[in-house]
């Protein structure tokens, strides 16, 4: 099985997700053991189905643009989160230079955010492997390379022994000696896009609210913009985004076939406790209002961003109450009228 994963990962790194799917099809036809193992995995978690959906999402973005393509993909997936925005959030997202930042619970937050947009000059600071997953997004991604130090830290964790984690590490291999330099260039480019080209950039500081490692990147971007002076900080808006979307919401959607165990169990979880998915866009803040100076360190700037996001998260959880089972049943009935 290890050699099969190596073959899939090699094809993925060389030619992207479509090539990896071709490698899987070839392995299924050549190796009975792999075919049986792949079938068992698909029965629980339909990896191939999800991969095909990602490629189709990439095609939609290529054909219709970031916003419309993302909206069409979400309709096809049956994912329609409730969205609420504070203050002037819609105006900022539509017309102003902004730096958005949010939690990253599922991996498809880029599509969820893009579906809210009518403009195309929006970019994402993301892992360099995203362009291989969805080629049409390559022009929208400011790629972050994985460093050797991060790989060593990750490999030290017990979860690195699981097949799923091992495969993810193979797919996003660490960059070379210039990885750190390339990451700094990506952060500088993000600052330039927002402050000088009036674009929008969305950053996912981490999978949670941690601020270690390259996750201080958002602080670096803020510091770079601050150094550009009042003309930049006065016009750039910071937009905290809180995603109340969990993996179970995706597994309960049309992304997963109705017969899969993950789909059935996730639907039960969403019904019993999670409630519907939601997105909350916090009140935009002009960067100048934070009182940061040229001497502010990236870590201090990251801490300020974390506080803004935490405040937005508290507001989101207060204004996005979970539906009771009765309300969910009533809504489901209305949908079929």
pLDDT the model gives residue 337 = 36
The token pair at 137 is: 């997004």
Q: What is the pTM of this model?
A: 0.84
Beta carbons within 8 Å of 324's beta carbon, 6+ residues apart:
none
The token pair at 64 is: 């219709």
* Residue 265 φ/ψ region, left for φ over 0, alpha for ψ in the -120 to 50 degree band, beta for the rest: alpha
- Radius of gyration of the chain from Cα atoms? 21
d(CA 155, CA 169): 9
The token pair at 311 is: 């405040």
3-state secondary structure of 30: helix
3-state secondary structure of 242: strand
- H runs (alpha helix) in 204-320: 217-227, 230-233, 247-251, 261-269, 298-319
Indicate the average pLDDT of the chain. 83
How do residues 239-249 score in pLDDT, each as one tens digit?
Answer: 999 999 999 99
The token pair at 215 is: 């996750």
d(CA 101, CA 51): 26
Helix axes 17-30, 2-15, angle to 10 degrees: 150
Tokens 């670096």 label which residue? Answer: 220
pLDDT the model gives residue 328 = 57
How do residues 79-95 score in pLDDT, each as one tens digit?
Answer: 999 999 988 999 999 99
d(CA 80, CA 75): 7
Q: Which of these ranges, 105-109, 131-135, 186-190, 207-211, has the smallest mean pLDDT?
A: 207-211
How do residues 304-319 score in pLDDT, each as one tens digit?
Answer: 998 999 999 999 988 8
pLDDT the model gives residue 172 = 59
pLDDT the model gives residue 326 = 60
pLDDT the model gives residue 148 = 59
CB 277 within 8 Å of CB 246: yes
DSSP code at position 229 = -
For the chain, domains (ranges, CATH) are: 78-335 (3.40.1130)
Over residues 285-303, mean pLDDT? 91
The token pair at 100 is: 């958005």
- Bridge partner list, 85: 281
pLDDT of residue 164 exceeding 70, the answer is no
d(CA 162, CA 5): 13
pLDDT the model gives residue 161 = 44
pLDDT the model gives residue 160 = 42
């Amino acid at each position: 099985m290890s050699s099969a994963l190596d073959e899939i990962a090699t094809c993925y790194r060389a030619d992207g997700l479509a090539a990896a799917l071709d490698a899987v099809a070839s392995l299924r036809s050549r190796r009975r053991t792999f075919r049986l193992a792949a079938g068992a995995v698909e029965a629980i978690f339909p990896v191939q189905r999800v991969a095909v959906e990602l490629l189709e999402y990439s095609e939609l973005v290529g054909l219709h643009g970031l916003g419309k393509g993302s909206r069409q993909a979400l309709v096809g997936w049956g994912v329609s989160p409730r969205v609420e925005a504070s203050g002037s959030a819609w105006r900022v997202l539509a017309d102003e230079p902004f730096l958005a930042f949010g939690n990253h619970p599922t991996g498809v937050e880029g599509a969820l955010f893009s579906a809210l947009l009518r403009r195309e000059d929006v970019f994402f600071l993301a892992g360099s492997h995203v362009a291989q997953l969805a080629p049409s997004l390559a022009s929208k991604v400011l790629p972050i390379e994985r460093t050797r130090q991060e790989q060593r830290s990750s490999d030290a964790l017990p979860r690195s022994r699981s097949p799923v984690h091992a495969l993810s590490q193979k797919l996003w291999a660490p960059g070379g000696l210039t990885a750190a330099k390339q990451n700094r260039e990506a952060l500088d480019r993000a600052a330039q896009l927002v402050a000088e080209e009036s674009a929008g950039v969305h950053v996912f500081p981490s999978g949670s609210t941690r601020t270690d490692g390259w996750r201080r990147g958002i602080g670096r971007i803020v510091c770079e913009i601050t150094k550009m002076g009042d003309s930049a900080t006065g016009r750039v808006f910071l937009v905290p985004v809180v995603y109340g979307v969990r993996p179970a919401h995706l597994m309960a959607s049309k992304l997963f076939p109705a017969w899969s165990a993950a789909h059935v169990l996730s639907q039960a979880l969403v019904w019993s406790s999670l409630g519907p998915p939601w997105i909350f866009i916090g009140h935009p803040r002009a960067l100048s209002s934070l009182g940061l100076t040229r001497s502010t360190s990236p870590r201090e700037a990251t801490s300020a961003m974390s506080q803004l996001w935490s405040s937005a998260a508290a507001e989101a959880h207060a204004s996005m109450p979970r539906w009771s089972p009765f309300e969910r049943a009533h809504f489901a009935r209305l949908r079929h009228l």
